[in-house]
Amino acid sequence: MTKNTKTVVLAGIAAGVLIVLVIVARDWLLTSKTIRCSDGQRRTIDTRDFNTKYWAYSVEFEASVADKAKFSGKLDPVQLQQLSEAMQSANEFRKYVVHGYNACAIGGTRYDQYGARFQTLDSLSREMDTMAKRTTLSGEERLQLADLTKQYLEVVRKLGE
C-alpha cells in the first residue's frame, strides 16, 4: 500500500467517524432538552430511549402476538385477544408516560415506578415468547403459559395506578 493510499484510507475513516459523531450529537441536541419541573431540573427523554431502557422486547413480541402462529393452539382465542388488546393499551400508556414526563406532569419517582412495571412486562413477554416458540407444550407448560398471560394482563391493568 502506498503512502497516498494510506492517507486516503485514513482520511475516509476519519470522515466516517466524524459524520457518525455529528449525526449522534445532532440527534441528541435536537431531541433532548433541559426543563425545570416542580421536582427539579430534568432532561426530556425520547420515546426511543424509553423503549431501549424499559420496553426493549416489545416490538418483537408484538409481532409474535399479531402473527398469532406461535400462540395458536397454545392459548385460547379469548386470552390471545386479551393479550393483543393489553399490548396495544400498554403501548399507548408508554407514550403517555414519556410525554407526561417531558411535560412535567409525571415526576421522576413516578416515572421510575412506571419504568419498573414496563420492565416486568418485558420480562413476562420474553418468558411467554420462549414458551410459544416450542413446537409442543405439555399440559403443565400450557398452564404456565396461561398463567404468564394472566400475569401480563394484570400488570397492564395496574400500569396507571
- 147-161 pLDDT, tens digit per residue, is 999 999 999 998 877
C-alpha cell of 42? 430534568
Q: CA quadruple 91, 95, 100, 106: dihedral positive or negative?
A: positive
Mean pLDDT in residue range 86-114: 89
Mean pLDDT in residue range 71-100: 85
**Is 70 exceeded by the pLDDT of residue 20?**
yes
* pLDDT at residue 137, as a whole number: 80
Cβ–Cβ < 8 Å for 54, 118? yes
Where b means 16+ CB within 10 Å and e means fewer, 91-122 reads eebbeebbebbbeeebbeeebeebbebbebbb
End-to-end CA distance of the chain: 65
pLDDT, one tens digit per residue, over 37-72 is: 888 888 888 777 766 666 656 666 777 777 766 777
